[in-house]
Amino acid sequence: MTTQISAVSSGKQALKPARELIPATLPDLAYTPEVARETAHLYEKVSGVIPPIEWPGFAPYIKAINELKRSRNAVVLAHNYMTPEIFHCVADVVGDSLQLAREAAKSDADIIVQGGVHFMAETSKLLNPDKMVLIPDSRAGCSLAASITGADVRALREAYPGVPVVTYVNTSAEVKAESDICCTSSNAVRVVESLGVPRVIMIPDEYLAKWVATQTSVDIITWKGHCEVHERFTGEELRAYREADPGVKIIAHPECAPDVLAEADFTGSTSGMIKWVHDHQPSKVLLVTECSMSDNVAVEAPKVNFVRPCNLCPHMKRITLPKILESLVMLKEEVTIPKEIAARARVPIERMINLSH
């Protein structure tokens, strides 16, 4: 049986079997004056991006989730693509894939709830093998992770003997287990160059690999995986935005195709893009990425006008407040990874994390 330390009202920590903590029913979810009062400070923060009519639907869940996190000693990790009511109102840690992986490694919570997709929850589990990691909807996948298997990596190694494999974190644990080192979009160039070799295999994102190839002299062998959200943007679309408004700044994620990145004033990871907006405070900006991110950044950059060519990630959008609450109440869906795969998959992730310190 899984055991966990749970915070109790006396302030002491008591050892309790996790399963005994399951409440029989969901908490009351009425929008009462008390709920309105207790969540008012949070609504003030997000009022620019969440209409008042929607708040009564969110507030009872936010209050219940925040209370349950305390009693369960749980944390919610939220990727930058989570909707604002999750990102700003229930998350304990927010960030890009690298930041979430690092924070997961440091966490002293008993339960980690992953606000993000399945490969992110697997990374958290790999770095926290003794903790309970929950994903509110296990169907939250990723087209990049689905594009490649462990057998594909073994075939690549046979085709290119001795060439190291650099694997984007947007992959399954099974694929990581076949890899030399992981990378994210924020450290990919550094990771590739850290190997000190003339040639690497970089999987599975063809466009990220092509972008890295423009930033380094290392020869890169790519795979044909694509992000189904970023591949929808086109260079033509961005030129039309620029023609309509020559002052607009265009910043893009490296999962976009090369003709899209050619139109960008800056290319970086989701957190790199957020930092660029904060540092430059452009009067108008177009974030070429998943559209919830514009809402999340707008909350903290009220003077910036965001142009929103909206492409949603259907996998990220499976994670909602009701599912996060249900996940904490029922302690589901628990992420598990076979021991033998976990032991091998942890190595390339830890190599990446150690490199970025």
**Residue 175 identity (one-letter amino acid):** V
Residues 92-121 that bind ligand SF4 (CB under 6 A): 117
> Could you say whether residue 294 binds ligand 13P (CB under 6 A)?
no
**Residue 231 identity (one-letter amino acid):** E
Among 167, 170, 187, 271, binds ligand SF4 (CB under 6 A): 170
Among 4, 179, 269, 292, binds ligand 13P (CB under 6 A): 269
Among 193, 228, 265, 334, binds ligand SF4 (CB under 6 A): 228
Among 83, 179, 184, 320, binds ligand 13P (CB under 6 A): 184
**Residue 182 identity (one-letter amino acid):** C
- Partner from ligand 13P, ligand SF4, none binding residue 97, C-beta < 5-8 Å depending on class: ligand 13P
- Tokens in use for 276? 């660029």
Please give the full DSSP string across 190-248, using - where no structure is assigned.
HHHHHT--SEEEEESBHHHHHHHHHH-SSEEEE--B--TTGGG--HHHHHHHHHH-TT-
**Count of residues making up the chain:** 357
> Could you say whether residue 142 binds ligand SF4 (CB under 6 A)?
yes
- Partner from ligand 13P, ligand SF4, none binding residue 171, C-beta < 5-8 Å depending on class: none
Could you tell me the end-to-end alpha-carbon distance of the chain, in angstroms, rounded to an integer? 35
Helix axis angle, 321-330 relative to 55-72, nearest 10°? 30
Distance from the Cα of residue 267 to its chain's centroid: 18
> Could you say whether residue 80 binds ligand 13P (CB under 6 A)?
yes
- Tokens in use for 306? 């965001």
**Contact stretch for ligand SF4 (CB under 6 A) within 19-27, 154-162, 273-281, 312-320:** 312-320
> Could you say whether residue 249 binds ligand SF4 (CB under 6 A)?
no
Q: How many chain residues touch ligand 13P (CB under 6 A)? A: 10
Who contacts 205 (Cβ-Cβ below 8 Å, separation ≥6)?
144, 168, 170, 223, 225, 226, 227, 255
- Three-state secondary structure call for residue 155: helix
- Partner from ligand 13P, ligand SF4, none binding residue 269, C-beta < 5-8 Å depending on class: ligand 13P
Residue window 130-149: x/- pattern of binding to ligand 13P, with contact defined by CB under 6 A: --------------------
Residue window 283-302: x/- pattern of binding to ligand SF4, with contact defined by CB under 6 A: -------x------------
Buried/exposed 263-294: b ≥16 CB within 10 Å, e otherwise: bbebbbbbbbbbebbeeeebeebbbbbbbbbb
- Partner from ligand 13P, ligand SF4, none binding residue 228, C-beta < 5-8 Å depending on class: ligand SF4
Among 123, 143, 171, 296, binds ligand SF4 (CB under 6 A): 143
Distance CA 201, CA 269 (A): 20
- Positions that interact with ligand SF4 (CB under 6 A): 117, 142-144, 170, 227-229, 255, 290, 313, 315-316
- Positions that interact with ligand 13P (CB under 6 A): 80, 96-97, 170, 184-185, 227, 255, 269-270
